[in-house]
Structure 1
Amino acid sequence: MAFEENGMESDKDYEGIMKLLNDTVENLYIFRDHYFVNHPIENATHKNDDVEQELNTTLKLLNENQDCASYNRAKYNYLKGRALNVLPKYSKEAEDLLSKAVKLDPKLVEAWNELGECYWKNDNIKEAENCFARALNYGKNKISLRSLSMISRQKYSEKQDEKRKLVGDGLNLAKEAVQLDPHDGSSWIVLGNAHLSSFFGISQSPKTLKQCLSAYSQAEKDVVAKSNPDLHYNKAITLKYEEEFEMALDSFNTASLYEPTWEHPKIMAQQLTKYLEDITTLVASCGKMKSKRKQQILQSISSKQLGPYGGGSYTSPTGQTVKLEEVLLNDLKPGLNEEKVVLGKVVCSVYNEDGVPFTFCLVNKLGTCVAVTVFNIAESRGVIIGDAVAIPEPFVTDVHFKYSDKEFKFRLIRVENPRVMVVNSKKLGKDTQAGVQMSIFKRCT
């Protein structure tokens, strides 16, 4: 193709060379994103070094064809900036090149998105948000949508209504990204994380956790997304709060395998292991309570402490009459125990690094001890040792598995709403219920 510059003609095929440069940069990203398709997971520690080698080869070709900048300066700057942006670390040169690209061609959506990613790596979230928003002005695309979803969820507000709005906006943007390309696993990861933010920012609902896992399951169908350590880390967080502890530990471990230098999955796995060890020990020892004190506790348990649940039935919030039969902890079956109520006394609380859920051990009059996890409870409104607690229609899980060299075994009752509990003969009030917002560690999703 003939190209005229400063009145001089050139026979160089600039269009063909630009296509070659574009394909080379795309192949660089394919090499990075498909690394574990072509390399065993044991090579994870070498991934960034291998990508950097590919980057150097790509940059050499770009530098050898710098004269292409005179053919399409915006596109050339974009390609070189995008190449430099392939590594996890921030590149000032990439930022400068991408900034030039969008100035030369403000409609270059890909450059706006890449510049936004570059700013994000440098913790300049405000400028990153501006870039993604500018990209959307020139064309709706999944990258801008899911990036803005992440940013919306990372914003902080002390006002509960504003928190809900930010989480809701993030969820809607993530859904829109998935709709644009249902086969892109990265968008499904962002949608799963948006649901997880909703779990902590709006309501700790088991339905929301299932929506998280459904999105992560869709993400795993994408070979690129499946090797993303963030997917497995956030899936582990979800499984932890769904109290699928063994699968949660497996997912933390998988996240560590894909990125061995990332310490957070290892730390979270250690914390979860310690939490499960503590529950196992405290349930088995009835809160490490001395024999005399334990007997005093057992003898003080009386059906009168059932309070409003003591008459054989109660009226639900919807106005329905629900029958309730008092049963022993031993009589419960795994799953939902409809029309049953259990009564016991608190013998200890269990320390939980996150504070969610509030966990304590409950003993009944026969000395049977179980763990109880309470979600959606306001800070500092948990029960204390000696409190009599009645739980209607308890949901029960029998936890028993081995992990590494440790064995975990205990019975667990999950309480979604603290207001269903009767404590010391009285139903808990509205002030005990609260949506707890927790900071979820995120690297890029």
Structure 2
Amino acid sequence: MSLWLRASSCFSVVVALGEARAVTGGMMADEEEEAKQSVQLLQELVDQLYSFRDHYFETHPVEYASQKHQDVREEMEKTLHKMEEAVGYSQEKAWVLMLTGKALNVTPDYSPQAEELLSKAVKLEPELVEAWNQLGEVYWKKGDVAAAHTCFSGALSHYKNKVSLQNLSMVLRQLRAETGEEHSRHVMDSVRQAKLAVQMDVHDGRSWYILGNAYLSLFFNAGQNPKISQQALSAYAQAEKVDRTASSNPDLHLNRATLYKYEENYEEALEGFSRAAALDPAWPEPQQREQQLLEFLDRLTSLLDSKGKVKAKKLQSMLGNLRPAQLGPCGDGRYLAASGQKVALELKPLSTLQPGMNSGTVVLGKVLFSLTTEEKVPFTFGLVDSEGPCFAVTVYNMVQSWGVLIGDSVAIPEPHLRRHQIQHKGKNYSFSCIRVETPLLLVVNGKPQGSSSQAASTVAYRPQSE
């Protein structure tokens, strides 16, 4: 029997029973008790189905990840069959419809049968909040974000509950916005709803995970504030702490790895992409992200080691053209520090830089190569001076048209240095990198960069199955 026939069968039984009650004048007390027990049994069957899905990797090794989707579908079929057998005399038609729709909604795929049954459930009992939440999730899978938003908002109008708050937070970030300002308001409201969900139950891992995603979205829409980045990472960590199933969520690993990559925690990013791919082999994005990052590191370290494959004679000629005048405002005491004070910077070789912020220092070198990623952020180039090794420089928050050319002279005030030692799947990478948060900090060929060179970065993350 097909899933739709089973679901329809459950619904038909409920309708027939309702008609029978109309003829007989209702049920006796013992029949009412039997009806309650029937609904309770249906609830237990659906709860067991969702527990099978959510705790799959507690009973199956990760090597079975490729079978999870099929195993869940088979468990759904078994559950629907048991539910069909368990439907008895019940005055709770809306509950039976809701539970049947919820069972059909256990997979990540959109189910038109679930939509029909849940729609009937909310019409029969408009205050059945769980039916509204399930119907909202069906619309979300269908791609009808506006309808999903209506469902979750409607559920909250009946009573405050964490599931509606979680889902509303998720949907708000995907609502269509006419302007960037409107989208920013949606993101801020998304954070607020997620916080409310956490406050309702601090032990709910899904609430913490969705709060992490809300902070992640806020981070990329509000100037990449490091404090917000740490809030996102803390929320993800808390999700794993309070809910052991969170560690089996491939979306959490991918979204957190995206943040790690932006923060240049490359080893953690690679591990996160790899873990997400292992947990959901049918989802190509984690493996693609992992491979793209490995290719970026391969190309970068190769170019650094070969100094951009620039021949020695040409390199010597380029370095001979470095002049103090190319420091611009960094060389004449006009540099404005983060404190707001004008300070004099000391020109030092790249080789003398220490990990972290090198206050009171400026470096000057020649560009040997440039490198862009699929996401266009960051813009990466190699910088060398007369003292020796080539350093990577990563620049964020620039417009796509901005860049530097081979042979350009670049001065970097108070450079922030990181020495990378990365190991992943038998590969090893070692290099030094200067991170620059905005091109406005750079002086190129003696000229400060104008405000037109800066733009807020954007990044994609997977919201569909939060």
Q: 2:104 aligns with which of 72, 84, 93?
A: 84
Deviation track 1:159-182 (CA, whole Å, cap 9, x = no partner) reads 332232222222222222222222
Matched, 1:62 2:83: yes
Higher helix share: 2
Q: Which residue of 1 aligns with 2:151?
A: 131
The offset of 1:318, in angstroms, is 4.8
Inter-partner Cα distance in structure 2 for 1:199 and 1:83: 36
Q: What's the RMSD between the two structures over aligned residues? A: 1.9
Inter-partner Cα distance in structure 1 for 2:354 and 2:91: 74
The 1:428–1:59 alpha-carbon spacing in structure 2 relative to 1, beyond 3 Å, is same
Give runs of aligned pairs for residues 14-33 of structure 1, distance below 5 A: 14-33=35-54
Q: Which residue of 1 aligns with 2:384?
A: 363
Q: Which residue of 2 aligns with 1:321?
A: 342
Matched, 1:443 2:461: no
The 1:322–1:184 alpha-carbon spacing in structure 2 relative to 1, beyond 3 Å, is farther
Matched, 1:225 2:243: no
Q: What are the ranges of 5 or more consecutive residues in structure 2 without an aligned counterpart?
A: 1-17
Deviation track 1:69-105 (CA, whole Å, cap 9, x = no partner) reads x411111100111011111111111111100110011
The 1:289–1:157 alpha-carbon spacing in structure 2 relative to 1, beyond 3 Å, is farther
Q: TM-score, normalised by structure 2?
A: 0.90
Q: Which residue of 2 aligns with 1:112?
A: 132
Deviation track 1:47-69 (CA, whole Å, cap 9, x = no partner) reads 2222223222221222123344x
Q: Which residue of 2 aligns with 1:393?
A: 414
Matched, 1:214 2:234: yes
The offset of 1:362, in angstroms, is 1.0
SS in 2 for 1:220: helix
Matched, 1:303 2:321: no
Q: What are the ranges of 5 or more consecutive residues in structure 1 without an aligned counterpart?
A: none
The 1:409–1:9 alpha-carbon spacing in structure 2 relative to 1, beyond 3 Å, is closer
Letter in 1 for 2:62: I
Q: Which residue of 2 aligns with 1:247?
A: 268
Deviation track 1:137-186 (CA, whole Å, cap 9, x = no partner) reads 11112222222222221235463322322222222222222222221111
The offset of 1:228, in angstroms, is 0.7
Matched, 1:204 2:260: no
Matched, 1:34 2:55: yes
The more displaced of 411-420 and 147-156 is: 147-156
Letter in 2 for 1:326: L
8 Å contact from structure 2 (residues 101, 115) kept in 1: yes
8 Å contact from structure 2 (residues 49, 79) kept in 1: yes
Give runs of aligned pairs for residues 378-389 of structure 1, distance below 5 A: 378-389=399-410
Q: Which residue of 2 aligns with 1:333?
A: 354
Matched, 1:406 2:427: yes
The more displaced of 3-12 and 180-189 is: 3-12
Deviation track 1:212-232 (CA, whole Å, cap 9, x = no partner) reads 211111111111222111000
The more displaced of 262-271 and 406-415 is: 406-415
The 1:319–1:92 alpha-carbon spacing in structure 2 relative to 1, beyond 3 Å, is closer
Inter-partner Cα distance in structure 2 for 1:240 and 1:253: 13
Letter in 2 for 1:213: L
Letter in 2 for 1:32: R
The 1:73–1:158 alpha-carbon spacing in structure 2 relative to 1, beyond 3 Å, is closer
8 Å contact from structure 1 (residues 298, 367) kept in 2: no
Matched, 1:348 2:369: yes
SS in 2 for 1:154: coil
SS in 2 for 1:348: strand
Letter in 1 for 2:260: L
Q: Which residue of 2 aligns with 1:267?
A: 288
Matched, 1:177 2:197: yes
The more displaced of 107-116 and 288-297 is: 288-297
Percent of pairs with identical residues: 47
Letter in 1 for 2:144: N
Letter in 1 for 2:163: I
The more displaced of 434-443 and 390-399 is: 434-443
The offset of 1:314, in angstroms, is 2.9
The 1:420–1:295 alpha-carbon spacing in structure 2 relative to 1, beyond 3 Å, is same
Matched, 1:194 2:214: yes
8 Å contact from structure 2 (residues 54, 245) kept in 1: yes
The 1:379–1:201 alpha-carbon spacing in structure 2 relative to 1, beyond 3 Å, is same
Q: TM-score, normalised by structure 1?
A: 0.94
Q: Which residue of 1 aligns with 2:10?
A: none
The more displaced of 414-423 and 158-167 is: 158-167
Q: Structure 1 segments of 4 or more deviating over 6 A?
A: none
The more displaced of 191-200 and 271-280 is: 191-200
The offset of 1:9, in angstroms, is 4.2
The offset of 1:238, in angstroms, is 0.8
